[in-house]
Amino acid sequence: MADAPKLAELELIPYVSAEGQLPDDLQGKVGVYAIFDQDHVLQYIGYSRDVFLSLKQHLVRQVDRCHWIKVYCVEKPSRSLLETVRNDWMQENGATPPGNGADLAAWTEPIAVSHQMTAEEQDKYNHPGNSEVDRGKVLKAVARRIEATILQTLHDRGIQVELRFNPKLKEEGLLDLK
């Protein structure tokens, strides 16, 4: 793309402001974004019809890897333009970021809590005679425990962003923002 900036040309901005907020000016903006960890190592490149909402999702899913961002917003978006810019940035980087390779699901899919069950939770879940409703209750309890851990981690980092998880997904053992 002749008019799209190179990744190296874009300003590195904090993922979370000193006030604990995500960049409000990205709400409703369409664009391509790159996420960097605390050491400025590129972790993920994505594109979205609402960069702000996507950044919230990534923050919840990968809080320890979301410290810096570079963003290119577009006025007349097309999927092909966004994909081209993302692919150009990956080529410029010289390697596929972990979040676009082996860790893709961890960046883009709801958090599956079933593999984070304690032995006690697994026993309750697998108890003979459990109905689907009983299993759903166990998954919901596990989801709430994991949600509390995520929210505490965000709070400990000083993040003040309002987050609401989809309650219907918890019974399926999934955590995702609503």
β-pairing, 13-14 with 68-73? Answer: antiparallel
pLDDT in tens, 98-149: 999 999 999 999 999 999 999 999 999 999 988 999 999 999 999 999 999 9
- Between CA 169 and CA 178 the distance in angstroms is 10
The pTM of this model reads 0.92
Confidence band (pLDDT; 50, 70, 90) for 76?
A: confident
Q: Which of 142, 151, 138, 141 has the alpha carbon at shortest distance from 177?
A: 151
CA 65 to chain centre: 10
Domains of the chain from N-terminus onward: 7-108 (3.40.1440.10), 111-175 (no CATH)
Non-local (6+) Cβ contacts of 21 within 8 A are 160, 161
